[in-house]
């Protein structure tokens, strides 16, 4: 398994998931985002969506999209369980992941791309500067909604640390670095953010993996 890797919250999400599982990539191949290497023919032949991360499997498959990659890793190595052991648990985790994606992650990242990140992204994708502030506000609405759900619990899926926590954490960490910080008045969410951030998988991008997947 080779991980095409870069800076940014999405590759970190996959590294974090792998670290939680103690998984090792055979090789990590850095791709230069600022130079636009990911938008050139060689990388596009692996991931036509032109973004990072991407996982190259031994059989010649290329897997992109963070959540699909994490689902694959869970299937390859069940323990520790981060999605679920029963159909109900898996569906519950996926429900929360989807909520994180459409309520917070997508508007927060597009708010960045269309706003502060405009000059970086304008020749890579359609950017809509007039939508930036609205998208950032949508993300904050999503965070306030999540705050209400988290009251009295420390994980996004009740009673289980899951992919939903891992999907959101690097995005909020990134958001805070680009002018979309977490409002400290959201106390449950702030406590959740600090708890997830204290895990080894979150603190160290260059974790030491413990086990290998073929
Ligand atoms: N939907 C994709 C999003 C991936 C993404 O946005 N990756 C960023 C890095 S965090 C990227 O490649 N940005 C550079 C670009 O779009 O040219 C996923 O889930 O993997």
Q: Is the CB of 178 under 6 A from ligand 1?
A: no
Q: What whole-number distance in Å separates Cα of residue 190 and Cα of residue 132?
A: 24
Phi, psi at 191, each rounded to 5°: -65, -40
**Among all chains, which residue has been given the structure tokens 């996926």?**
94
Q: Which residues contact 127 (CB under 8 A, 6 or more apart)?
A: 113, 114, 118, 121
Which residue minimizes the CA distance to atom 6 of ligand 1? 51
Q: How far is the CA of 155 from the centre of ligand 1 (A)?
A: 25
pLDDT at 152: 87
pLDDT at 204: 60
Q: Which residues contact 126 (CB under 8 A, 6 or more apart)?
A: none
Spell out the per-residue pLDDT of the chain, length 214, in tens: 999 999 899 999 999 999 999 999 999 999 999 999 999 999 999 999 999 999 999 888 999 999 999 999 999 999 999 999 999 999 999 999 999 999 999 999 999 999 999 999 999 999 999 999 999 999 999 999 999 999 989 999 999 999 999 999 999 999 999 999 999 999 999 999 999 999 999 976 643 334 444 3
The preferred substitution site among 3, 10, 101 for testing ligand 1, maximizing ligand atoms within 8 Å of CB, is 10
> For residue 77, what are the CA distances in angstroms to 61, 80, 82, 90, 122?
18, 8, 10, 15, 39
Q: What whole-number distance in Å separates Cα of residue 31 and Cα of residue 172?
A: 23
Structure-token pair, residue 21:
């599982």
pLDDT at 210: 40
pLDDT at 207: 38
Domains, in order of start, for the chain? 2-81+202-212 (3.40.30.10), 87-201 (1.20.1050.10)
Q: What whole-number distance in Å separates Cα of residue 214 and Cα of residue 167?
A: 24
The preferred substitution site among 30, 52, 113, 127 for testing ligand 1, maximizing ligand atoms within 8 Å of CB, is 52
Strand pairing of 211-212 and 23-24?
Answer: parallel
Q: Is the CB of 47 under 6 A from ligand 1?
A: no
């Amino acid at each position: 398994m080779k991980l095409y890797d870069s800076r940014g919250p999405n590759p970190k999400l996959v590294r974090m998931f792998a670290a939680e599982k103690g998984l090792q990539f055979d090789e990590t191949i850095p791709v230069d985002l600022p130079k636009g290497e990911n938008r050139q023919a060689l990388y596009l032949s692996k991931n036509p969506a032109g973004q990072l991360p991407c996982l190259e499997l031994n059989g010649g498959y290329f897997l992109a999209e963070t959540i699909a990659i994490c689902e694959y890793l869970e299937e390859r190595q069940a323990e520790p369980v981060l999605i679920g052991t029963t159909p109900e648990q898996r569906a519950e985790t996926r429900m929360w992941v989807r909520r994180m994606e459409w309520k917070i992650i997508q508007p927060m990242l597009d708010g960045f791309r269309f706003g502060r990140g405009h000059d970086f992204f304008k020749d890579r994708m359609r950017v809509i500067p007039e939508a930036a502030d609205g998208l950032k506000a949508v993300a904050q609405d999503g965070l306030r909604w999540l705050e209400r759900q988290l009251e009295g619990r420390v994980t996004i899926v009740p009673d289980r640390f899951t992919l939903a926590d891992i999907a959101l954490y690097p995005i909020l960490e990134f958001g805070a670095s680009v002018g979309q910080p977490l409002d400290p008045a959201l106390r449950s969410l702030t406590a959740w953010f600090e708890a997830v951030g204290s895990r080894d998988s979150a603190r160290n991008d260059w974790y030491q993996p413990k086990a290998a997947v073929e």
